[in-house]
Structure formats: C-alpha cells, structure tokens
Amino acid sequence: MEKKKKKKRKDEISGWLAPFIYFGLRSRAFEFVENLSYFLSSGMSVTMALSSMEEELAGFRMRRLVRRMQGNIQAGFSLSQSFEKQNFFSSNIIALVRAGEATGKLVENMKLVILLNDEDKRLKSKLNSSLLYGVLILSLTAIVGTGVAWYVLPVIANVYSQIGEELPKITQLLVMGGNFLANYGAIVVPIAVSFLAAILYFIFSFPKTKFIGHTIIFHLPFLGKLIKESEVTRFGYILGNMLESGLPVDEALQTMPGTTTFKNYQKLYLHLKERILNGFSFYDSLKSYKKIKKLFPNNVLQMISAAEKSGKLSETLIRISKLYAVKVENTSRNLPIVLEPIMLLLVGLGVALFVLATIMPIYNLSNIIQ
C-alpha cells in the first residue's frame, strides 16, 4: 500500500515537471540514436558501438545508461528491448528500432528516427516563428500599458482630483485607476502578473488541463488552420515513413499519440488503432470518427481511400505530408500579415481610450473654472 502511495506521488511530481524536462530528455534521446546509428553504419556490432559511445560521453548519467544497455545486450535482449527497459526513449523510437531489427533495416530505421525528429522540429519552428510577432506585440503592449498605468496615471489622477468639479465618466475611471495603483500598485501588479502567468501555465502547459488552451487555439480562425495543416503534415510524414520502413499499421498507430500534444488528434489515433485491430479498413476507421471533418480535410480522406484501394498507402501519406508542408509554409508566412492589423487595432484602441480620458477634461476646463 505504501509503495502504491509513493508511486502515485512520484507520478504526480512527474506530471508537474513534465513540461520542464520533456524537451531536454527528448533531444538527448534523439541525439543518442543518431550517434549510435553512425557507429552501426560503420559496420560495428551493437556491443562495440555502445562501448565506443561510452568513451565519448561526458555525462555520468548517459554513461550509466550505456552500461545498462550493454548489460541488457549481453544478457540476450535485442536493442529495441534494451531501449524499452531504459524509460528514456519514446515509443516511436522503440517501434522503429524494433521494425528495423525485424526487417534487417536497423541502421536505415534509426536514420529515419532522426529525419522524423528533424521534420517535427521544422514544423514547430514554423509555428513558433508565426506566433512570435503577435506574442511580441502583446507582450510589449502589456509592459508599456502596465508602466503607464503604474507611473503616469497617479500623476494625472492627482491633477484632476484637485480640480474639484465633476469629470467625464471615462476620466473618473482613469482617476480611480490611478489612485488605486498609486496606493496598491506595488502589491497588485506583481500578484496580477503572477496570477496571469499561472492561468496561462494551467491552460496551455499543465498536462491535465492544457487541452483547454488547445481547444481555444484550435478554434481560432487563422491559427486553427495552421495547427490543422501542421498536424496533417506530421501525420502523413511520420505514419507514411513508419509504414514504408516495414512497421505494421496497428503498431505504427500505437506510437502516433506520442507525436502530438493535441488531445483531439491523440483520441483519433487511438480510435484508428482500435478499429483496425477489429478488422476495419484504414479509410473506414477514419470515416467512423465523429469529428473527423474538423481534424482532416475531405481531400485528404479521399486520397487515403484511393491509396488504400491501390495498395499505396505509405506513398500517399508521404505525398500528403509534402502537399500540406507547402500549405503550412504559406499559412505561416501569411499569419503575421493577418495578425498585424488586429494587433494594431487593439493597441490603437487602448491608446485612444487613454488619450480621450486625458483630453476631454481639458476641453471642458474653461467651463469647469467658471
């Protein structure tokens, strides 16, 4: 009972830390596979390759990982089984290594792992660069707005408070805000920033609640389109190459949920795997998913249907990925152009309200003095 409680606490801690350690471990795992593939491609055995890698590694943890793997190989385990025991490599890496061992294409499949990782990083880079402009503008607006509200509003509020006459409603709100920040700004602003950061973390990063943020993003007009095209590109490229490498469809689909952070696509891949194991075709399994039209465009479904009938599913999936990679390129290039007027409108609206609240009493100053 005590062991179960400890394991539960450990899982909870892992869940909290996952966003911080995932990318570091993930990149190191791919780097490890890439280096191992180089040694194996030179004609070394797996044991010799691991011994050579151990000499090159500087970190104690990685050397210990290699020694554990050497022990597993010497005990009669395959490379994929050794990978599986380490709790370090992702499911798609293990699946591709296992398929490589079964088909005699171990080195080719390990190189494919690197290609898949590079493609995934390329897609994420396009998404990040597309969103960078909007995030930068909003961040600068928030910083400047907070600075003006904290330091300028109290001065303006003090000036208008001394007039002693009734001010326009919008100016009264400005004065109230200035007085409030003058008295409590040192407490309220840090709390507000911390609260906003916590909200953003729980909506977009915390494992159990990030589906809320993903749902919001997915339903935004232009950003949702970019996410959808990116997921279709990733789906076609990863699954198509896995099938091309000799991996069975059900085993390839088993690794697919780990290739995306969006819950709706993860559920789709699990649904596909279950349906295919029950004897349904790939296309019928896709069509049976209730929300498939929100996730995959109709032309992609038609291409998959034709490909399955002709026995060219893997080739068609790779072709789909290339087609949608171009779409991602175009959408990511156009997204900042679309966001720019929206950002400028929001910033302009805030400036206009501030100027209006400041200027209105000046126009009425002569009446107020009389």
What whole-number distance in Å separates Cα of residue 159 and Cα of residue 246?
77
Whole-angstrom distance, CA of residue 222 vs CA of residue 217: 9
Return the pLDDT at 11: 42
Q: What is the residue-level pLDDT of the chain in tens, covering all 370 positions? A: 444 444 444 444 344 333 333 344 556 788 888 888 888 888 888 888 888 887 777 677 888 888 888 888 888 888 888 888 887 887 778 878 887 887 777 888 888 888 778 877 777 777 777 677 667 777 777 777 777 766 776 676 666 666 655 667 777 777 777 777 777 777 887 888 888 888 888 887 777 888 788 788 788 777 788 888 888 988 888 888 888 877 788 888 887 887 787 888 888 999 998 999 888 888 899 889 988 888 898 899 999 999 988 888 889 999 998 898 888 888 877 777 777 777 778 778 877 877 777 777 666 655 545 5
Q: 95 vs 47, 244, 247, CA distance in Å?
A: 20, 13, 8
Per CATH, the number for 108-370 is: 1.20.81.30
Surface-to-core class of residue 36, CB atoms within 10 Å of its CB (0-12 exposed, 13-18 middle, 19+ buried):
buried
d(CA 262, CA 256): 11
Query: Cα dist. 43→38, 46, 49, 106, 158 in Å?
Result: 9, 9, 9, 12, 80
CA distance 15 to 11: 6
> Which pLDDT value is given to residue 303?
92
For CATH 1.20.81.30, list the domain ranges present in the chain.
Answer: 108-370
The DSSP 8-state label assigned to residue 149 in this structure reads: I
Residue 164: the pLDDT is: 59
pTM value?
Answer: 0.69
Tell me how long the chain is: 370
Residue (of 72, 34, 66) closest to 52 by Cα position: 66
